[in-house]
């Protein structure tokens, strides 16, 4: 598996883990130092979310509760260079910009910036 395929696999685990309520899959996709921030209506910015919070919320089924009937999404790896990468996820629910880092355990999401589709930025 080349880096781009591994990056896509990590993001797929993160994305599908959230909507399937699979906390272990989410944990494997995230770097322990994750900082995830949401931007909503009128550019309201959420406090950064941690990896532990994301794993907990995933296990609690928060993503399952908002899984859309049309669960299609696309992942674009924008760049990968010497152990760092950036990617974008487009879906009917969220737009996410992700930064990933290569670790001894594989690619992990270190930073995430997202907004809900349709929210003003």
Q: What average pLDDT does this structure show over 91-110?
A: 96
Element (H, E) at 17: helix 3-20
User: Pairing between strand 73-81 and 106-116?
Assistant: unpaired
Domain boundary assignment for the chain: 3-116
The confidence score (pLDDT) of residue 120 equals 46
The residue count of the chain comes to 121
Segment 94-117 shows an average pLDDT of 96
Q: CATH number of the domain at 3-116, out of 1.10.287.3510, 3.10.450.50, 2.60.40.1180, 3.30.70.260? A: 3.10.450.50
- Helix ranges (DSSP H) in 21-89: 23-29, 51-59, 62-65
pLDDT of residue 118: 73
CB 101 within 8 A of CB 111: no
> What mean pLDDT comes out for the span 56-65?
95
DSSP class of residue 93 equals S
- Model pLDDT for residues 34-48, shown as the tens digit of each residue: 999 999 877 788 889
Mean pLDDT across the chain = 93
Tracing tokens 């009937």 back to the chain, one arrives at: 69
pLDDT at 97: 98
User: What does pTM read for this prediction?
Assistant: 0.92
Q: What tens digit of pLDDT does each residue of 14-27 get?
A: 999 999 999 999 99
pLDDT tops 70 at residue 5: yes
């Amino acid at each position: 598996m080349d880096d781009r395929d591994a990056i896509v696999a990590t993001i797929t685990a993160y994305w599908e883990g959230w909507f399937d309520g699979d906390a272990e899959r989410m944990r494997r996709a995230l770097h322990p130092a994750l900082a995830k921030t949401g931007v909503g209506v009128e550019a309201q910015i959420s406090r950064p979310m941690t990896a532990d919070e994301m794993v907990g919320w995933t296990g609690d089924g928060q993503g399952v509760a908002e899984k859309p009937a049309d669960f299609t999404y696309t992942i674009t790896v924008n760049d990968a260079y010497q152990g760092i990468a950036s990617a974008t996820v487009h879906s009917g629910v969220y737009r996410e910009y992700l930064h990933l880092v290569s670790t001894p355990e594989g690619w992990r999401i270190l930073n995430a910036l997202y907004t809900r589709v349709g929210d003003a930025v």
